[in-house]
Amino acid sequence: MEPAQLQETCGDHNEADGTSWVSVCPRGPCRVQTKQIHKQTVSDPGNAASCSSDYCPKLGSLCQVRVLLKADAGESEGSVSEKKDEEMSVSDVTELVAAPFLRCPDMVLQVPAGDWTTLRLGEGQCDITEACLERMRPGEKCEIQVTPLGNAQEVSSTLPSEGILPLCATVELRAFTQGKESWEMSTSEKWEWVKSHKERGGVRFRSGDVWGAADSYSRALKLLIPLCSLFRQVEKQGEEPDMEGQIDTDAADEKLHIPSVGELRIIKAELHSNMSLCQLKLNQPQRAKTSAAKATQLDPGAAKAWYRLGLACQSLNELDEAKGAFRKLLEMQPDLPAAVKALKDVISKEKQRNAQLGLRLSKMFN
């Protein structure tokens, strides 16, 4: 789900509007509530941009951020103003370098607590932190409270100080580099983001971070939307474009490979298919069916998508559709053991259902 819009006022503001949104950590969805936003003084008061609502991190911005848990917030309250070497200055942003760290399956907040660290906005390292940063300016603090959503499993942390949900913390932005909105990006820049999200989704899925993988695939699909609109316009003209030459001239200068219409369709199908697999793992068969169906429409030869469509339909007890999906798969790969077994299971389940239905009918008429 998209983070709700946070308050965007310039000048002092001590209270947030109580906005909340749903975020995803490796163990499942949580509800995040913004409690307060504090305004601090940036060391460049003459910079008018610092008071602009547009002066916030964007996609690709390197953000110097600190997350303080409630227990640690009081101890560090005056640390920024007391140390000259920690004064907030927009002139320091050129020195920022993203800190590489992996998502931890047992953590709610996917950034080290207590210390300043640098993350790249848009990579989805920590959805909670990034959602706060998107509406913050240098020197601001955002207090958050994280609680489990519905029947979500309680999430504990490998950090003893983080404890069990509900969790209260403060997100503080010190400085950031300039980024871009998605509509400001060239085709080649969007494509690089799509590739990185797709690769990151695979890494997360293999590590067991299914929620994180689904988030990465979702981000990649969102960035494909503006590309697809361009491709559809070209397709209406009945042409197969040279993407480097016809749609994005600067991409040709960068000598980057931009996918053709056919290649993009395959990639989009793969993303929907991968999303379907995540949704099956998360016990969301209806969503898995929708994703797999989109994948098969985009790429009728996508064997994995047909298999996942069959599994989703089987979970929904839509046996005719499940049989159709598995039979379609067997047309492409006649002796695929998984497909043969799946089809036998569906036929067996169908026979049991018909037998039970026949028994009920016989009792009605007897």
Mean pLDDT of 197-222: 94
Mean pLDDT of 93-103: 77
Q: Is the pLDDT of residue 248 over 60?
A: no
This prediction has a pTM of: 0.80
> CB within 8 A of 165, min separation 6: which ones?
30, 108, 146, 147, 148, 154, 155
pLDDT digits (tens, 9 = 90+) for 291-317: 999 999 999 999 999 999 999 999 999
pLDDT digits (tens, 9 = 90+) for 13-27: 344 445 788 888 887
CATH number of 20-179: 3.10.50
Q: Enumerate the β-bridge partners of residue 36.
A: 143
Residue 362 tokens read as 């016989």
The pLDDT confidence band at residue 110, using thresholds 50, 70 and 90, is confident
Which one has a higher pLDDT value, 223 or 89?
223
Residue position matching structure tokens 């303080």:
68
Peptide bond connecting 166 to the previous residue in cis, omega within 30 degrees of 0: yes
The percent of residues in the chain predicted with pLDDT above 70, rounded, is: 68
Domain boundaries, the chain: 20-179, 187-361
Residue pair 49/157 in contact by the 8 Å Cβ criterion = no
Q: Is the pLDDT of residue 135 over 80?
A: yes
Taking CA atoms, 308 is separated from 54, 174, 285, 357, in Å, by: 43, 45, 10, 28
Query: Do strands 28-38 and 116-120 pair parallel, antiparallel, or not at all (unpaired)?
Result: unpaired
The pLDDT confidence band at residue 50, using thresholds 50, 70 and 90, is very low
Q: Is the pLDDT of residue 56 over 70?
A: yes
Q: Is the pLDDT of residue 3 over 50?
A: no
pLDDT of residue 163: 56
pLDDT of residue 111: 87
The pLDDT confidence band at residue 40, using thresholds 50, 70 and 90, is low
The pLDDT confidence band at residue 107, using thresholds 50, 70 and 90, is confident
Which one has a higher pLDDT value, 162 or 265?
265
Mean pLDDT of 135-161: 70
pLDDT of residue 235: 62
CATH number of 187-361: 1.25.40.10
Mean pLDDT of 56-68: 94
